[in-house]
Amino acid sequence: MNEIYRTLPDEAERHRLLKSPINGDGLMLLFEAGLLWLTTNQQYVNSLNVFPVPDGDTGTNMVLTMQAAFAEADQNRSTNVGETGRHFAQGALMGARGNSGVILSQIWRGFSRALDHYETMDTGLLLRAMQEGRNTAYKGVVRPVEGTILTVMKDMTTAAEEALREDSNLSEMLVAIVAAGDVSVKNTPELLPILKQAGVVDSGGMGLFYIFEGMLRMLQGLSLDPSGAVLRPLAELDLSHALENVEEGQDYEVVIDFTPNGNFVLDHYYEGLTEIGTSIQVGEGDGIYRMHIHTALDKRYEPIAYTESLGIVKKIMMENLQEQMNGRSKEDAKLTLAKVNPGEVAVVAVSPGEGLTRIFASLGVAAIVQGGQTMNPSVKELVASFENLPTDKIVILPNNKNIILAAQNAAKVSVKKIAVIPTRNAPQGFAAMLRLMPDGSLEENEESMREAITEVHTGEITISTRSVEIEGVQVEKGQVIALYDGKLVSSAATIEGALKELFQKADLEDIERITLFYGEGINQQQVNKLGDQIREEYPDKEIEIHEGGQPHYQLIIAFE
């Protein structure tokens, strides 16, 4: 259990705190239960990704948003439901990540507004809070789409309206809300055809359902604690962001490949590892298990001995995290960002890879926010990137479709003049930067940059995370897939095959330059070979190759 959570009370204490009408402590108990149950089901929510690409992060974004909300309310404890709701909503606003997190924060914003000036909350006030949460969320989206988290919130609110009676209690109201949420989530594919094609329900709606189901489970005395032992496919074991999560006392990263004994029990293995270190992940593929852990200096060999007692160790990898951090700090120190004078236009860019970051720096950005697929920055992180810049004219380049909404909310909470250019990838961000006029007006820069991003098309090469047929393309798990301007266009056994199909389906008639940015899972030699093949096939095009360093996507291709 995360250290910010309290220990959930026993049945007698729960009954006392949740006796209708509930006060601020009771409301916090509901919020905590919702967060815990969402955390338990986080990976399942992540898996409900329409496209079979390794960037399903709805569950993670919603959990991080709820954690920020709970932490803010926990630091400002009050028995007053109005004050509790206000702090929870403020934490959600600043901690919101991704589109799902931002919409969730809007729900809590409206929810808390209904509680203002109230000491306690009864079922009638809960209904008004649900109604205001629904209304605020719908207003916060420019073009609301049904079959999403919005629909689920609307349907749960309708159920609350129908369930309200003079003698109804909190538990009865939540039973109706959760039942309606369950039906609504299952119906989302009927409202949003792309979900039906992909064979999934809406992930944001599913996450919202788990929050309210967690509240009900707590009232019913059911377990909320997730099992720490989660076995993932090796392909989904993400060790790429280890350095972003280094805590004090985590000196070494240890990764062990092993074959377990016949009596191996994952839960017991995981329990033993928690006595040794943190950041534990366990993956499996073709009978080989891979374990990842961070440990203190004096414990770095303990995971090896422990694993050897439970199976046959095949391979050991050990890295000094603090040394890597020091090295990264030195490398980061070499990065030169644009100096901004008062009155000039400054640009903040979100970048998912070191190579892409260096390119953005060379083009004149004033601040970089690390982030992208599976690591969407929060509203608070975006605001922090520009609040100390010596100008009130800021342009934000989100460079990811799932960060645009958070950037727009960062603009709303700042007193500075902010223009959010809806860049969906790094190539669009680069195109926008080439139009930067530091001495120009914010309006001139915004107009020019918006025009620039329409003149570049983007291809992406990655590995499919599941088997599916979508948009007429049959995909098998583990195949190489290609996307063109966000649309799935091909699936092949090799990068070369997927790339060839991508070029055949891309409109290259007016394209003069093609740039390949290579990331993890492919080396420069391989990319150079691909570049030579492209030059031979398209001799009239200018071909460039740059290191991008982005995770998950072997190649990002800009067509200009």
Task: Give residue 107's pLDDT band: very low, low, confident or very high (50, 70, 90).
Answer: very high
pTM for this entry:
0.79
**Lowest-confidence pick of 160-174, 194-208, 411-425:** 160-174
Both tokens of 265, joined, read 């029990």
The encoded tokens of residue 402 equal 């799932």
Closest alpha carbon to 101 in 458, 463, 378: 378
Q: Average the pLDDT over 252-276 and give the result.
A: 87
Asked if residue 316 lies in contact with residue 304, where contact means CB atoms within 8 angstroms, the answer is yes
List the single range of 44-48, 214-218, 286-290, 425-429 with lowest mean pLDDT.
286-290
Mean per-residue pLDDT for 246-250? Answer: 54
The string of pLDDT tens digits covering residues 315-372 is 888 877 766 555 554 445 568 899 999 999 999 999 999 999 999 999 999 999 988 7
Q: Name the pLDDT band for 1 (thresholds 50, 70, 90).
A: very low
User: Stretch 175-204: mean pLDDT, rounded?
Assistant: 94
- Specify the DSSP class assigned to residue 469: E
pLDDT band, residue 2 (cuts 50/70/90): very low
The pLDDT, as a whole number, for residue 270 is: 85
Average pLDDT, the chain: 88
Retrieve residue 85's tokens.
């709701």
Q: Is the pLDDT of residue 389 over 90?
A: yes
Rounded Cα distance, 401 and 485, in Å: 11
Delimiting residues of CATH 3.30.1180 domain(s) in the chain: 457-559
Measure the CA–CA gap between 128 and 107, rounded to whole angstroms. 12
Secondary structure of residue 7 in the 3-state scheme? coil
More confident of the two residues 208 and 5: 208
CATH 3.20.20.70 fits 231-326, yes or no: no
Q: Residue 408 — very low, low, confident or very high, per pLDDT cuts 50/70/90?
A: very high
Q: Where in the chain is the domain with CATH 1.25.40.340?
A: 11-219
In the chain, what percentage of residues exceed pLDDT 70? Answer: 91
**Are 240 and 324 in contact, with CB atoms under 8 Å apart?**
no
- Of 156, 121, 198, give the one whose Cα is nearest residue 469: 198
Nearest C-alpha neighbor of 452 from the set 467, 437, 471: 437
**Sorting pLDDT into bands at 50, 70 and 90, what band is 240?**
very low
pLDDT given for residue 60 in this prediction: 85
Q: Which helix (H) or strand (E) covers residue 492, if one does?
A: strand 487-492
Please indicate whether residue 390 or residue 271 has the higher confidence score (pLDDT).
Answer: 390
Q: How confident is the model at residue 238 (pLDDT cuts 50, 70, 90)?
A: low
CATH 3.40.50.510 is held by the domain 335-453? yes
**Tell me, what's the pLDDT at 513?**
94
Residue closest to 95 by CA, chosen among 380, 343, 480: 380
Binned at pLDDT 50, 70 and 90, residue 243 comes out as very low
**Which region among 70-84, 217-231, 377-391, 500-514 has the lowest average model confidence (pLDDT)?**
217-231
pLDDT at 249 over 60: no
Superfamily grouping for domain 11-219: DhaL domain (1.25.40.340)
Domain with CATH 3.30.70.1150 in the chain: 231-326
pLDDT at 251 over 80: no
What DSSP string describes 195-208? Answer: HHHHT---HHHHHH
Through-space distance between the first and last CA atoms of the chain, rounded to whole angstroms: 49
Question: In terms of pLDDT, which residue wins out, 411 or 17?
Answer: 411
Mean pLDDT confidence for 528-542 = 93
For residue 110, give the nearest of 88, 142, 80 by alpha carbon: 88
**CATH number for the domain formed by residue range(s) 457-559:** 3.30.1180
Nearest residue to 461 (alpha-carbon basis) of 529, 533, 355, 557: 557
Rounded to an integer, what distance in angstroms lies between the CA atom of residue 223 and that of residue 122?
25
Residue 53's pLDDT is what? 77
pLDDT digits (tens, 9 = 90+) for 80-91: 999 999 999 999
The edge-to-edge listing of strands for the beta sheet with 393-397 is: 367-370, 345-351, 393-397, 417-420
154/89 Cα distance (integer angstroms): 19
**Residues 555/517, Cβ–Cβ less than 8 Å:** yes
Beta-strand runs (E) in 383-456: 393-397, 417-420
pLDDT at 430: 96
Rounded Cα distance, 479 and 526, in Å: 18
Per-residue pLDDT band for 71 (boundaries 50, 70, 90) equals very high
Residue 181 and residue 95: Cα distance in Å, rounded?
Answer: 25
Q: Residue 93 — φ and ψ, nearest 5°?
A: -60, -50
Whether residue 239 is predicted with pLDDT greater than 60 in this model: the reply is: no
Which run of H or E residues covers position 545? Answer: strand 542-547
Whole-number Å distance between alpha carbons of 31 and 108: 11
Confidence of residue 235 (pLDDT cuts 50, 70, 90): low
b (16+ CB within 10 A) / e for 447-483: ebbeebbeebbbbbbbbbbbebebeebebeeebbbbb
CA 219, 221, 227, 232 dihedral sign is negative
- For the cut 90, the answer to whether the pLDDT of residue 225 exceeds it is no
Nearest residue to 239 (alpha-carbon basis) of 286, 294, 276, 285: 294
* Widest pairwise Cα distance in the chain: 78
Span(s) in the chain for CATH 3.40.50.510 = 335-453
Average of per-residue pLDDT across 470-488: 90
Tell me the C-alpha distance between 306 and 101, whole Å.
39
Asked if the model's pLDDT at residue 516 lies above 80, the reply is yes
CB 350 within 8 A of CB 421: no
Cα–Cα distance for residue pair 548/460, rounded to 1 Å: 12
Summarize pLDDT for 110-146 with one digit per residue, the tens.
Answer: 999 999 999 999 999 999 999 999 999 999 888 899 9
Distance (Å, rounded) from C-alpha 216 to C-alpha 223?
11
Specify the residue for token string 């810049």.
389
Q: What's the pLDDT tens digit per position in 435-475?
A: 999 999 999 999 999 999 999 999 999 998 888 888 888 98
